[in-house]
Chain A
Amino acid sequence: MTAADNRSEALRGHIPGEPGLWVLIFGDLLVFGILFVTYAVNLATDVTMSVSQAKLDRGLGLLNTVLLLSSSWCIAHAVIAARRGSSGVRQMILAAMALGVAFVGVKVVEWGGHIGAGDTLNSSSFFTFYFMYTGIHLLHVLIGLGVLTWLATRCDTNGAWSGSPATLEGSAVFWHLVDLLWVMIFALVYLLRHAGPA
């Protein structure tokens, strides 16, 4: 990138990835916003929700939060490495993938525990929300892991980024979205308690 390019970009502002990507990002955020409000309204009006909610393991939720945040950190550093033209891009992408796969592993263990204890998709309103919201989020994680795998194949033999900067940046933005949604789910589903009369 030349100095002139940099200046023209600075004037119009830099859009991470490409403009079209933000249709997906904001569209998803909008709909998750509706889902989160639906959940919060149910939590506030249905006292049975907090009884089931108490069965969640906040430790596993926190572990998953740390895993996804670290994974996001890795992909952010992959973008930084690519901007420098350094050879560590593939390493950072693989690290992000490993942390993402660990997230899926923790999720499977967590789900398995609840299902083993008899709390399934339609056993109570809380567990419907829990399994569906974490399930829709897991679909995002799996799509994201697919994208990361594809990114890893686009590095050269030294592990430097060989594709366009926008592709890597856009994929990183999607991975951050997955992370952001999880932080919201963790806060709402695991941490927020019903504030009704105790």
Chain B
Amino acid sequence: MRQGALRLGVFAGPIWGTLFFVALWPLMHIFPPYSPNLGAAEVAAHIRSHQTGFLVGGILLMTASAIVWPFIAVILMFLKKIERGIPLWTTVTALVFTYGQVTVFLCGLAFTMAAFRPDASNEMIRAWSDLGMFLLVIPAIPGTTQYLATGAIILQDDRPKPILPRWYGYLNIWVGILSAPGAVVGLFKMGPFAWNGIAAFWIPAVVFGVWITATQLILLSAIKRNALLDDQP
């Protein structure tokens, strides 16, 4: 079994996370996000003063969406192994992962648009930046489907020694439920459910951090056990 190749695949996850974080934090300075209440002139001034940061950050986000696939593929291989027979929910998870990463690509593209022409009007710049912020937070909607499907697959595993630990299945359900509030950010410009609020941004962000860390750990330990070659009935 090519454990080395699988392990390498898992590391696409932290690389994705690092690119994402570098883009948002030191380059674009939108972590934590600015208030949706900010005026067009203030948003445009922020983007003009970090123009190169936004353009390079946009490239990093788009790159992240393109190099995450080995990580996702390793997750899917384990899910398919657990599901056996007709891998319905693994296929659902794979499709939702795919469109989730399209939103990451479009997020990078929207911020690139916002920063591309600093001489554009303040309103135009803010509109593209708004789209970028929405693409950052609202994809919690497909995320919820993906996490619940993953959780359901893992909890279906009836082997005496499960391929992936059952607590990780429950963790996915927890992450799925708590990502859902990201869906409503279009309704609010302030308060806990705005895109910089505790319920729509901070809780999903922290919970996602827990998910990606736990996912790497359980994948590495399953690879070490050679769980893909497991032959339990």
| Contact bitstring B166-202, A, C-beta under 8 A = 1, else 0 | 1111110110011011001001100111000011000
From the candidates B167, B177, B187, B198, name the one contacting A28 in the complex (CB within 8 A): B177
- CB-based contact B166/A18 at 8 Å: yes
- CB-based contact A23/B170 at 8 Å: yes
- CB-based contact B177/A38 at 8 Å: no
How many A-B contacts if CB must be within 8 Å?
60
- Chain B residues whose CB sits within 8 angstroms of the CB of A139 once the complex forms: 177, 180
Q: Does B76 contact A (CB under 8 A)?
A: no
Interface of B (DSSP majority class): helix
Q: Does B228 contact A (CB under 8 A)?
A: no
Q: Does A20 contact B (CB under 8 A)?
A: yes
- CB-based contact A121/B187 at 8 Å: yes
- CB-based contact A27/B174 at 8 Å: yes
Knowing A122-B188, A139-B177, A140-B177 touch, does A31 contact B193 (C-beta < 8 A)?
no
- CB-based contact A38/B198 at 8 Å: yes
- Chain B residues whose CB sits within 8 angstroms of the CB of A129 once the complex forms: 192
Interface size class of A (residues with CB under 8 A): 20 to 34
- CB-based contact B191/A24 at 8 Å: no
> Number of B interface residues, CB 8 Å?
23
Interface of A (DSSP majority class): helix
Query: Nearest-CB distance from B193 to chain A (Å)?
Result: 6
- CB-based contact B167/A34 at 8 Å: no
- CB-based contact A23/B167 at 8 Å: yes
Q: Does B203 contact A (CB under 8 A)?
A: yes
Within 8 A of B (CB), among A65-123: 121-122
- CB-based contact A34/B171 at 8 Å: no
- Chain A residues whose CB sits within 8 angstroms of the CB of B192 once the complex forms: 35, 38, 128-129, 132
B residues contacting A by CB (< 8 A) are 165-171, 173-174, 177-178, 180-181, 184, 187-188, 191-193, 198-199, 203, 207
